[in-house]
Amino acid sequence: MNLDQIKATITTVPDYPKPGIQFRDVTTLMQHDAAFKACIHHLAARFDDLKVDKVAGTEARGFVFGAPLAMALSVGFVPIRKANKLPRAVIRQEYELEYGKDMLELHRDAVQPGDRILLIDDLLATGGTMLATAALVRQLGGVVEDAGFVVDLPALGGRARLQEAGIRCHTLCQFEGD
């Protein structure tokens, strides 16, 4: 399945979560077995030559794409969670949302100094969540140079923000607008 066919399985929901937003719903891609499998295949092919020690996925859809990608790359998977979801000692990173703040956490022993970590999430919008994810990994001495996404919304500027932070972005498809 090619990238245009994968993109065609993503549903656009108008005016969600508020008027004027065109929400790109990847759950329809995940429900389509051939598209989901192809998505992981394309991501794995993109990162196969990259020296990666672990894949880190940000809650929640980063888990969905990150865990099978880690398996395909034969590396471990690191979950980045919302606050108060991890049972052992954690580090925390606060980040800005459109209307407020949120917090991400990472187990203190999940990343060792020098580990090369590939960041994965379903969608790149403003880049705020992924910048917080990268900050967590880097606090533990991990090396973050690459991030992968299924969808990029270029109009929201996330790619530029990540590139300014030294992170190369790789996406499977783009949608114009918000």
Rounded to whole angstroms, the Cα distance separating 36 from 44 reads 12
**Is residue 88 flagged as an active site residue?**
no
**Is residue 108 flagged as an active site residue?**
no
Which one from 24, 46, 88, 98 is the annotated catalytic residue?
A: 98
Residue length of the chain: 178
Which one from 46, 61, 116, 161 is the annotated catalytic residue?
A: 61
Phi, psi of 49 (to 5 degrees): -85, -5
Contact 70, 40 (CB under 8 A): no
What Cα–Cα distance (Å) separates residue 24 from each residue in 72, 86, 125, 135, 172? 25, 28, 11, 26, 13
What positions carry a catalytic annotation?
61, 98
